[in-house]
Amino acid sequence: MIENVRVAVVGVGNNTSALVQGLAYYRETGSLVGIHRPEIAGIGVGDVDVVTAFALSDAKVGKDLHEAVFLPPNNFPRLLPELAPSGVSIRRGLVDADGVGRIAAAIEGADVLLYSAPSGRTVTARAYAEAALAARVAFINTTSDPIARDSELLDRFTAAGVPLVGDDLASQFGTSVLHRTLLRLLEERGLTLVSSYQVNLGGTEDFRNLVVNDNTKKQSKLNAVGSDKVDMAPLGYLPQLESNKVAYFNIEAQGWGGTAVSLDLKLKVHDPSGAAGVNIDLVRIAAAARRAGRGGYPAEAAELLKSPPGTMV
Amino acid sequence: MIENVRVAVVGVGNNTSALVQGLAYYRETGSLVGIHRPEIAGIGVGDVDVVTAFALSDAKVGKDLHEAVFLPPNNFPRLLPELAPSGVSIRRGLVDADGVGRIAAAIEGADVLLYSAPSGRTVTARAYAEAALAARVAFINTTSDPIARDSELLDRFTAAGVPLVGDDLASQFGTSVLHRTLLRLLEERGLTLVSSYQVNLGGTEDFRNLVVNDNTKKQSKLNAVGSDKVDMAPLGYLPQLESNKVAYFNIEAQGWGGTAVSLDLKLKVHDPSGAAGVNIDLVRIAAAARRAGRGGYPAEAAELLKSPPGTMV
Amino acid sequence: MIENVRVAVVGVGNNTSALVQGLAYYRETGSLVGIHRPEIAGIGVGDVDVVTAFALSDAKVGKDLHEAVFLPPNNFPRLLPELAPSGVSIRRGLVDADGVGRIAAAIEGADVLLYSAPSGRTVTARAYAEAALAARVAFINTTSDPIARDSELLDRFTAAGVPLVGDDLASQFGTSVLHRTLLRLLEERGLTLVSSYQVNLGGTEDFRNLVVNDNTKKQSKLNAVGSDKVDMAPLGYLPQLESNKVAYFNIEAQGWGGTAVSLDLKLKVHDPSGAAGVNIDLVRIAAAARRAGRGGYPAEAAELLKSPPGTMV
Amino acid sequence: MIENVRVAVVGVGNNTSALVQGLAYYRETGSLVGIHRPEIAGIGVGDVDVVTAFALSDAKVGKDLHEAVFLPPNNFPRLLPELAPSGVSIRRGLVDADGVGRIAAAIEGADVLLYSAPSGRTVTARAYAEAALAARVAFINTTSDPIARDSELLDRFTAAGVPLVGDDLASQFGTSVLHRTLLRLLEERGLTLVSSYQVNLGGTEDFRNLVVNDNTKKQSKLNAVGSDKVDMAPLGYLPQLESNKVAYFNIEAQGWGGTAVSLDLKLKVHDPSGAAGVNIDLVRIAAAARRAGRGGYPAEAAELLKSPPGTMV
């Protein structure tokens, strides 16, 4: 029998709420609904435990993980009527590069350190990676900060036989993949794209942070869809959406004789669910690599990431 | 230099209007917009001529083809401000199996006989096929009547070295392929389908005929999407849509932790354009096969048909 | 203090499920959400009790009302986690005109008999009306069967001082009122309507019955919207929608210089909620009229009905 | 017979393109499509002539008005295949307060000076108003700059017997009125609003200017809809939309028993048409007031303006 995967997590936001509640949900219901891969290297969804968690907010530090995930600004919904205490008390996380040794000590015995804090704190992200390396714990960077695509750092993980997974998690069902799929279908059928746009609205704290850095995001989105005929509207932060993301697409094309083809689409999805549905796979890939003694970047993670090693920093 | 493909056509409805107007449009504009394959076996879109046409309506018989395509109930839009006379005068078509010899004589010298009449007149469809066989002209059946999937008839075409293409044209950009593509994407990403429906509305005479035989259509649509979680609403004939088809899709799914994913889509497309965009390929496939002396069913047509030979009659 | 209104109900389908569960919901939560009029003649929503109920199905007869409302084909959702027994045992209803005396005896002491069976059983509907008249209980006909607009019957209710309310309940938030409101707004602003359509989909048993009689419905819908530029698509029965109704509208218009204005709308609503939200008002209107000794048709019900007295039978 | 209304216009952007092309369109076609009021004080749509026009762009100054309206960044579509020269040569406009006398001389003989430049140039707007007052020509301010709601200025127009109309034109079919109408309908039917949002996308130069000043706009939009449960997404400038505006609305409400009601809407409309359809009314109101010797603010303009006199500056 395989030992459960032990996960330490940095950040107790919506994505961690979705992961932690989902683990309880699947254990309690026995369901496989919404699960991409029931097993990875023999590890089921129910074989993963969160054993340590770090956060910065005074309101969360010291609380039980199963209580902290419901504190604001988190707004991911409650998946189960009742959630028994986890026994994991939230520890205070890092605010800069100081404290690597403390973190390394705290995560000893874990298989994986899942870095799930907001993007944009590269110094801190790197400090956590150093702590994972020191403790010989696999490290997963879900943010857009350059960690796994820093080749010097990756070389050190590889040399030490410790897995390093990143960067920038691709959502389980994101708007880019859907938009790309539709545009590709049009092209395969011989239609000519005239114009297309996408509007993204969301209500999470993550979304609010993205809105602040909208121009960057807009550009990366364009790349993600891969057509200069596609316009991205500015992101809209709408608190009433809570943890939902809503996207509107329009595609205008031409068929035989130049006649019009138009397609309008609305997608509504819980953003943190899209993250958790991928994190559960990254955690199992990293843990399996570590147990197999494979250090560095596990190639099987590539399709789950937006900026894997080799992407321009 | 390749000689132009000479096409005789049965039926002067919207689909023939789209084909004939489109040929003029592409010649006049030099555009390739909405063209799936610029060349098939060296034959460009501009290398196809309609040289003979059969219709039943008194209003159309005797008229020039470029005039007849605008007569009611046809409602496909005008693609060019001006359309010079074609020089092809509409001939009276068959109402039953009598007159095979007359048709065979009339299509002599053509490469292809494109059968583009309404579905459901199997006896007549078969008579045209016999005429094509007698005249050694390739035959294309775009209707759901069983012609190419009648193995006895197909054997006779094969033996005679005459191509036989059919049955039941798949639209260039239909609702089934779009619905299937979206459902497949969901499945690939690990989401769980809860329910889905599709509503199809249209304003063509073809659509009106389908509405009358709705139950059959409903069933075949279900098969086309390939999921018992997909409901088809009854087809709606709305004259105001003219030659447009409008489809509404809804897909409800579950992601991580059972959270809701919902997707709503509206597609608007000119139905006859979808037919003409495929007919232009079938005509070139059939002509190329005939010129190469390949009789029977040309396998490269398979993806353009809903019920190719081998499908249950 | 006003005595509670005592209601006997015919039919234990979705509409009765919504009414009965809603009464419990408002009492338990103290909420006024979705309530059009908190008080009518001093009677609050919480001042209404269902005291007697008639059904035909063997599965329902003899069951407690709060259990029977969840039996198939009912598919209106559960509004409260728990629903204590009502103490009202379902009685067997009428299948024809026989048994008026039995019904009259059973409803004695009630203020109102709410006829909430499927439309199309006029003989039975009339028998219940006779029973109500005999027992001097106000009668409400929510179906399209001609009861209140039968002037001879109405005269007898008036003469006896017993209120008679009907016919054909207008939903609290129906598609007709929404469509009409949008078309009126366009007109007020000086836009010119080009074309418009409406598609209605639903999953209730009521909806299934309507689909069978689609032509009638189509016509009455057209009248309800009141424009010959509006097309109604055939109704679609989609079991997966359960008690939801989904409507799609499209409106194409022209503004200044003939430029295009287009409007697409999707509405999703629980059909039985729309009925219950109006039934709660009709019940209070009828009870108040009875207590005030006002027989016949209470004019204040007019806006809640599609075919009030005076409408052509 | 009434003499034609003579209009001088400031700004040759999309809104002027729509007005000028529309006047030609209605004269040529004789149509009344999209016209709110065929006559105002006996003045028909065809009784209005643009006789003078001012612009700042070097590309436009000196050109014929019917040529200049098609120059970039204008992107309002061509309404007629051919547009004969107007005989009106574009004059250079003001860049600050200098040149009032020159403008006054140029507009002598006009009935109305229509100020249709971008919002935000208050000093210049006021200079044009002074020129109109000096020339005793009625002045219309379609921008949000405070002109008519400057009580000192209004008093001077009133005293001089010259009409002053403004400020801030309300579109003929805007998103605010549509959103408000839907929310009011919900309320009238007793539904409880849970949340609602509106997303506005556009491709005009005006829209691009609004995006720059988004926060202001966002706030004024909220006021326009009049509910704190309504969120406005940031405006999106999408050049591919050209002169179209696209708005997406979502409304989530609760009906009987707290059950969900949801409504999704997409509106597509030519923004400059919405302006021209109102300008044609303001011009006739102002001209009629001037001819009747009524100075100051004509009350019948109130419903066509967002910030009439009395609104807080």
The CATH number given to whatever domain includes residue A134 is: 3.40.50.720
Lowest-confidence region among A244-248, C54-58, C161-165, C171-175: C171-175
Q: Name the pLDDT band for D310 (thresholds 50, 70, 90).
A: confident
Predicted-complex ipTM score: 0.94
Number of folded domains that form chain D = 2
- Looking at beta carbons, which residues of chain A come within 8 Å of D260? none
Whether D26 is covered by a domain: the verdict is yes
Angstrom CA distances, B150 to B159, B164, B297, C253, D204, stand at 14, 11, 11, 49, 59
Residue type, A274: G
Q: Name the pLDDT band for A2 (thresholds 50, 70, 90).
A: confident
Which structure tokens are listed for C165? 């309310």
pLDDT score of C233: 83
Residue of B nearest to A20 (CA): B257
Q: Around Cβ D42, how many Cβ atoms within 10 Å?
A: 10
Contacts of D34 (CB under 8 A, 6+ apart): C190, C191, C192, C253, C254, C255, C256, C257, C258, C259, D273, D277
Q: Which domain holds residue B195?
A: 175-270
β A43-44/A39-40 pair status: antiparallel
- Looking at beta carbons, which residues of chain B come within 8 Å of A183? none
- Looking at beta carbons, which residues of chain B come within 8 Å of A261? 173, 267-270, 273
Q: How far is D255 from chain A (nearest CA, A)?
A: 19
Residue B224 has pLDDT above 90, yes or no: no
Lowest-confidence region among A47-56, C29-38, C204-213: C204-213
pTM of the model: 0.94
Facing B233 at nearest CB: one of C201, C231, C266: C201
pLDDT score of A216: 46
Tell me the count of A-D CB pairs closer than 8 A: 49
**Calpha distance C66→C265 (Å, rounded):** 36
What size, in residues, is chain D? 313
Count how many Cα atoms sit within 13 Å of the Cα of residue D81 in the half-sphere of its side chain: 2
Facing A240 at nearest CB: one of D231, D235, D236: D231
User: Are D129 and D223 within one domain?
Assistant: no
For the segment B137-141, the average pLDDT, to the nearest whole number, is 98
User: Are C154 and C277 within one domain?
Assistant: yes
Tell me which residue of B165, B162, B159, B54 sits closest to B105, measured CA to CA. Answer: B54
Tell me the count of C-D CB pairs closer than 8 A: 169
User: Are D27 and D160 within one domain?
Assistant: yes
Facing A18 at nearest CB: one of B25, B192, B256: B256
Facing B34 at nearest CB: one of A22, A192, A262: A192
Q: Name the pLDDT band for D224 (thresholds 50, 70, 90).
A: low
For residues C276, C281, C287 and C293, what is the CA-based torsion angle, rounded to 10 degrees?
-150
User: Are C297 and C244 within one domain?
Assistant: no
Q: Name the pLDDT band for D222 (thresholds 50, 70, 90).
A: low
β D138-141/D112-115 pair status: parallel
Residue type, D25: Y
Contacts of A39 (CB under 8 A, 6+ apart): none
Count how many Cα atoms sit within 13 Å of the Cα of residue B166 in the half-sphere of its side chain: 30
Among C259, C261, C262, which would you mutate to test the D interface (most chain D Cβ atoms within 10 Å of its Cβ)? C259
Residue of D nearest to A235 (CA): D234
CB contact under 8 A, A34 and B263: no
* pLDDT tens digits, one per residue of C79-112: 999 999 999 999 999 999 999 999 999 999 999 9
Beta bridge partners of C112: C7, C138
Q: Which residues of D216-232 are buried (b: 16+ CB within 10 A; e: fewer)?
A: ebbeebbebbeeebbbb
**Calpha distance D231→D227 (Å, rounded):** 9
Whether B74 is covered by a domain: the verdict is yes
Mean pLDDT for chain A overall? 93
* pLDDT tens digits, one per residue of C40-75: 999 999 999 999 999 999 999 999 999 999 999 999
For the segment A255-280, the average pLDDT, to the nearest whole number, is 97
pLDDT score of C228: 80
User: Are B44 and B166 within one domain?
Assistant: yes
Whether B134 is covered by a domain: the verdict is yes
CB contact under 8 A, B234 and C238: no
Whether A189 is covered by a domain: the verdict is yes
For the segment D97-115, the average pLDDT, to the nearest whole number, is 97
Q: How far is A215 from chain D (nearest CA, A)?
A: 13
Which structure tokens are listed for A63? 């609380």
Tell me which residue of A174, A193, A180, A213 sits closest to A262, measured CA to CA. Answer: A193
Q: Around Cβ B107, how many Cβ atoms within 10 Å?
A: 28
Residue D165 has pLDDT above 90, yes or no: yes
Among B25, B192, B259, which would you mutate to test the A interface (most chain A Cβ atoms within 10 Å of its Cβ)? B259
User: Are D234 and D290 within one domain?
Assistant: no
User: Are C97 and C220 within one domain?
Assistant: no
Residue D133 has pLDDT above 50, yes or no: yes
Q: How far is D293 from chain A (nearest CA, A)?
A: 49
Residue D216 has pLDDT above 90, yes or no: no
CB contact under 8 A, D234 and A236: yes
pLDDT score of C116: 97
Q: Name the pLDDT band for C235 (thresholds 50, 70, 90).
A: confident
* pLDDT tens digits, one per residue of A214-235: 644 454 555 566 678 888 888 8
List all chains that touch chain B, counting a touch as 3 or more CB pairs closer than 8 Å: A, C
pLDDT score of C206: 85
Residue D65 has pLDDT above 60, yes or no: yes
Among A207, A208, A212, A246, which would you mutate to test the D interface (most chain D Cβ atoms within 10 Å of its Cβ)? A246
Whether C311 is covered by a domain: the verdict is no
**Calpha distance B155→D102 (Å, rounded):** 90
For the segment A280-292, the average pLDDT, to the nearest whole number, is 98
Angstrom CA distances, A147 to B16, B305, C22, stand at 60, 50, 55
β C192-202/C244-254 pair status: antiparallel
**Calpha distance A310→A308 (Å, rounded):** 6
For the segment C172-193, the average pLDDT, to the nearest whole number, is 94
CB contact under 8 A, A199 and D199: yes
Residue of C nearest to D76 (CA): C259
Facing B191 at nearest CB: one of A34, A189, A276: A34
DSSP state of A110: -
Q: Name the pLDDT band for D64 (thresholds 50, 70, 90).
A: very high
Which structure tokens are listed for C94? 């009428």
β B230-232/A192-202 pair status: unpaired
Tell me which residue of D229, D250, D247 sits closest to D238, measured CA to CA. Answer: D247
- Looking at beta carbons, which residues of chain B come within 8 Å of A229? none
Angstrom CA distances, C151 to B88, C120, C164, C313, stand at 67, 19, 11, 10
* pLDDT tens digits, one per residue of C285-306: 999 999 999 999 999 999 999 9
For the segment D227-254, the average pLDDT, to the nearest whole number, is 92
User: Are A95 and A182 within one domain?
Assistant: no
User: Are D190 and D63 within one domain?
Assistant: no
- Looking at beta carbons, which residues of chain B come within 8 Å of A264? 265-266
Whether C187 is covered by a domain: the verdict is yes
Angstrom CA distances, D239 to A182, A233, B3, C74, D236, stand at 22, 10, 45, 51, 10
- Looking at beta carbons, which residues of chain C come within 8 Å of B238? 197, 231, 233
pLDDT score of D231: 85
Q: Name the pLDDT band for D2 (thresholds 50, 70, 90).
A: confident
Q: Which residues of D256-270 are buried (b: 16+ CB within 10 A; e: fewer)?
A: bbbbebebbbbbbbb
Residue D261 has pLDDT above 80, yes or no: yes
List all chains that touch chain A, counting a touch as 3 or more CB pairs closer than 8 Å: B, D
CB contact under 8 A, D173 and C261: yes
HEC-encoded secondary structure of chain C: CCCCEEEEEECCCHHHHHHHHHHHHHHHHCCCCCCCCCEECCEEHHHEEEEEEEECCCCCCCCEHHHHCCCCCCCCCCCCCCCCCCCCECEECCCCCCCHHHHHHHCCCCCEEEECCCCCCHHHHHHHHHHHHHHCCEEEECCCCCCCCCHHHHHHHHHHCCEEECCCECCCCCHHHHHHHHHHHHHHCCCEEEEEEEEEEECCHHHHHHHHCHHHHHHHHHHHHCCCCEEECCCEECHHHCCEEEEEEEEEEECHHHCEEEEEEEEEEEHHHHHHHHHHHHHHHHHHHHHCCCCECCHHHHHHECCCECECC
Angle value at C-alpha C133, between C132 and C139, nearest 5 degrees: 50
Q: Name the pLDDT band for B216 (thresholds 50, 70, 90).
A: very low
Angstrom CA distances, B102 to B52, B126, B139, B156, C149, stand at 13, 15, 16, 20, 66
Contacts of B197 (CB under 8 A, 6+ apart): B230, B231, B232, B233, B249, B250, C201, C236, C238, C240, C241
Name the one residue in this structure whose structure tokens are 């040309």.
B298
Tell me which residue of D121, D96, D140, D98 sits closest to D8, measured CA to CA. Answer: D140
Q: How far is D118 from chain A (nearest CA, A)?
A: 23
- Looking at beta carbons, which residues of chain A come within 8 Å of B190? 34-37, 172, 277
Q: How far is A205 from chain B (nearest CA, A)?
A: 19
- Looking at beta carbons, which residues of chain D come within 8 Å of A231? 238-240
Name the one residue in this structure whose structure tokens are 């050694």.
B136
Contacts of A232 (CB under 8 A, 6+ apart): A197, A198, A199, A200, A218, A221, A222, A225
Residue A151, H or E segment: helix A151-160
Task: Mark residue B272 as left, alpha or beta (left: phi above 0; alpha: psi -120 to 50; beta: remaining).
Answer: alpha
User: Are D191 and D207 within one domain?
Assistant: yes
Beta bridge partners of C305: C169
**Cβ–Cβ under 8 Å, residues A65 and A23:** no
Whether D231 is covered by a domain: the verdict is yes
HEC-encoded secondary structure of chain D: CCCCEEEEEECCCHHHHHHHHHHHHHHHHCCCCCCCCCEECCEEHHHEEEEEEEECCCCCCCCEHHHHCCCCCCCCCCCCCCCCCCCCECEECCCCCCCHHHHHHHCCCCCEEEECCCCCCHHHHHHHHHHHHHHCCEEEECCCCCCCCCHHHHHHHHHHCCEEECCCECCCCCHHHHHHHHHHHHHHCCCEEEEEEEEEEECCHHHHHHHHCHHHHHHHHHHHHCCCCEEECCCEECHHHCCEEEEEEEEEEECHHHCEEEEEEEEEEEHHHHHHHHHHHHHHHHHHHHHCCCCECCHHHHHHECCCECECC
Facing A257 at nearest CB: one of B253, B264, B273: B273
**Calpha distance B13→B69 (Å, rounded):** 7
User: Are B61 and B29 within one domain?
Assistant: yes
pLDDT score of C158: 98
Whether B296 is covered by a domain: the verdict is yes
Q: What is the CATH number of the domain that holds C232?
A: 3.30.360.10
Contacts of D120 (CB under 8 A, 6+ apart): D143, D144, D145, D209, D213
* pLDDT tens digits, one per residue of B227-244: 788 888 888 999 999 999
User: Are B23 and B117 within one domain?
Assistant: yes
Strands in B45-111 per DSSP E: 48-55, 91-92
CB contact under 8 A, C256 and D185: no
